[in-house]
Amino acid sequence: MSLLNFQNVCLSFSDKEVLRNVSFSVEKGDKIGLIGSNGSGKTTLFRLVTGDLEPTDGKIFVSGLLKIGNVEQHACGDSDKTVYEELLTVFRPLMDVERQLEDVHRKVELTSGKVPEYLHLQDELTTAFQNGGGLTYVSRAHSTLAGLGFTPAEEHLPVSALSGGQRTKLALGKLLLSEPELMLLDEPTNHLDITSTEWLEDFLSKYAGALLVVSHDRYFLDKVTSKTMELTACRLYAAPGSYSTYVKTKALRYETDKREYEKGMLEIKRIEKMIEQQKQFNQERNYVTIASKEKQIERIRATLPELPPKEKEMRLRFPPVLRSGDEVLHVENLSKGYDGKTLFSDVEFDMRRGDRVFLLGPNGCGKTTLLNILLGKITPDGGFWRFGQNVRVGYFEQTQREMMHDKSVLYEIYDAFPSLTVPEIRSLLAAFLFRGEDIEKNMATLSGGERARVALLKLILSAPNLLVLDEPTNHLDVTSREILEEALSTFEGTILCVSHDRYFVNRLATKVLSFRGTRVQAIEGNYDDYAALLQTDKTADKKPAAEKKPNAYVQRKEAERAERLRRSRLKKVEERLGAIEQEKSEIETALALPETAADYEKVLYLTQELSALDKEREALEEEWLTLSE
């Protein structure tokens, strides 16, 4: 039975079309992931579901008294209640029953059970209390707060003292415990660390109700959802399966539709040539044939699959960089604490050229603090560190606070890189989706995703060979995250990154630094390797000490991982070398055109591109030789 049904829903604001002929249904128990680029209409679709917006056309059918829940309904203001008390407001009807039950208990005791009405009411209230979850609601409340990352001490904080992120987490907890038949979640993992996100994944996987969730967290979507819908260019596309399954289905569907479309267009062109021939004969019977052929074309066009228009994408590529020494960073015995609390101590690790190291751990464990120590922004309590020869550091800051000012996007780039001309800056900004009036936007008014794109452009232009990244994917949609991943996977330098995006970590990491208590442990491999080792440690902790032996399995897996990483990198190098030759051929062809020769700026730009490609090819060929050995 459908809980919700959209039938050919359209929505427009003034002259802007947002949704066109959107149709889908939500069945009981469905777990649906809704994806799409920023601004594609995902939040607007949610507002249609909740009834906050009415469609311009089409129908929306909602089953009976369907209970729909979203975070906004449970928003927390400047309440004097404690975090725990605020969460318990979800159970107010159950707590009312509990108070009534206590009152009836007293009356039964006072009358020694001789009043039948009291006994009957006591039985009714007891049944209602137990069926409503009265025996477990207190433990569920504490468990939910702990799962979302609240400490026992934070449970007693007044809501008014919470940060915006903490209030959002509390509102999420209230939504989860309210148990609506259809739950709407908009980026639920945004303020959660990996541990809390995994708790939420487990909660939602076991949740009996239906779920419609907007998220850019692909690992989360793979764990929770069983159906995926994508909004793109005002249209909705849907397929069974989680995010990774949908990506494969989408690619296959596009290729199939493209072949059918091209086949149909070839047939149309063939018929159009026949029509032209018939027109030349200029006979009455020829016009009858022409009319028949035109109807045939109309029938073919009606059956052609609709290919989704290609959305504008950020063009991101890190240029060749100055080669650093083999040792990029050496850290020894670093420690830091605040107000008598130790964040971390005796931190030691080394980074070699080409390493991609990711810092993982719960919120507040000191990951960003460690980055700031290495960048010289914070003084450690002890220990030291040093960068290797020819290391040039580029930093991507999580909040982008330094760019919250009245400067325009254009002058944000121009002031940082005055050697660039305005036309060059316009061209660069266009590659990062800033076109026309966008480049005159005030930096303080940009969205998080727009500021992140500006920060990435500045990072690329600074040409570092060590990237220090603090949550670089936070404000990026799925497509932009994948573009960033692809660019970083071919980056010639070294990467040190903090990220909660497990899909991102899995694709790029060669080493993980795990914050565990006040210690930091180095683990070779990506997120899956890190998670597997944690599981191995948990299993080992349950065994008696006498049973612990050297783990030959882990040693063998580490060797296999190293070989897998070598093969993977070798393949990427070979693919990039092939792509470079293709790009060089295209540039050389463009340079040979007369119209190009007459354009000095274009010749200069293309020549610089050729030079950069030659340098990149030389570096990759050297790496290929090393990897092949």
Q: Say what the pLDDT of residue 22 is.
A: 94
Look at residue 579 in the predicted model and tell me its pLDDT.
85
| Amino acid identity, position 510 | T
| Percentage of the residues of the chain whose pLDDT score is greater than 70 | 94
Tell the residue number behind the tokens 């790496």, with chain if given. 623
pLDDT in tens, 70-109: 988 888 877 789 999 999 999 999 999 999 999 988 888 8
- Residue 525 zone, left/alpha/beta (φ > 0; ψ -120 to 50; rest): left
pLDDT band at 465 (very low <50, low <70, confident <90, very high): very high
Question: In the chain, what are the domain boundaries?
Answer: 246-303, 553-629
Mean pLDDT calculated for residue range 445-474: 90
pLDDT of residue 53: 93
- Collapsing DSSP to helix, strand or coil, 438 comes out as helix
Res. 338: pLDDT tops 70: yes
Distance between CA atoms of residues 322 and 330, nearest Å: 19
pLDDT of residue 164: 85
Confidence of residue 556 (pLDDT cuts 50, 70, 90): low
Give the residue from 375, 583, 345, 337 showing the smallest Cα distance to 469. Answer: 375
Residue 292, token pair as written in the block: 């028949």
Long-range contacts of 255-264 (CB under 8 A, 24+ apart): 256/305, 257/305, 257/306, 257/307, 258/307, 260/304, 260/305, 261/304, 261/305, 261/307, 264/300, 264/301, 264/303, 264/304
The residue among 397, 404, 413, 496 whose CA lies nearest residue 462 is: 413
What's the pLDDT score for residue 557?
58
Q: How confident is the model at residue 225 (pLDDT cuts 50, 70, 90)?
A: very high
Q: pLDDT tier at 595 (50, 70, 90 boundaries)?
A: confident
Q: What is the pLDDT of residue 339?
A: 84
Between the alpha carbon of residue 140 and those of residues 90, 145, 181, 279, 389, the distances in Å are 12, 9, 19, 79, 54
Q: What's the mean pLDDT in 422-430?
A: 89
pLDDT value at residue 546: 45
pLDDT band at 340 (very low <50, low <70, confident <90, very high): confident
Res. 390: pLDDT tops 80: yes
Radius of gyration of the chain measured on its C-alpha atoms: 30
**340 and 347 in contact (C-beta within 8 Å)?**
no
Please give the pLDDT value at position 548. Answer: 43
Between 325 and 112, whose confidence is greater?
Answer: 325
pLDDT at 186 over 50: yes
Residue 538: pLDDT above 80? no
pLDDT of residue 334 exceeding 90, the answer is yes
Separation CA 373–CA 376 (nearest Å)? 5
> Across residues 351-371, what is the average pLDDT?
92
| Token pair recorded at residue 181 | 């038949």
* 542 band by pLDDT with thresholds 50, 70 and 90: low
Kindly state the average pLDDT of the residues 411-417: 90
Q: Which two tokens stand for residue 145?
A: 């707060």
Q: Residue range 314-323: average pLDDT?
A: 86
| pLDDT (0 to 100) of residue 25 | 95
Mean pLDDT on 26-44: 91
Mean pLDDT calculated for residue range 285-294:
80
- pLDDT of 545: 47
CB 177 within 8 A of CB 185: no
What band does 581 get if pLDDT is binned at 50, 70 and 90?
confident
pLDDT of residue 29: 92
Q: Is the pLDDT of residue 549 over 50?
A: no
Compute the mean pLDDT over every residue in the chain, rounded to the nearest whole number.
Answer: 87
Determine the average pLDDT of the residues in 203-229. 94
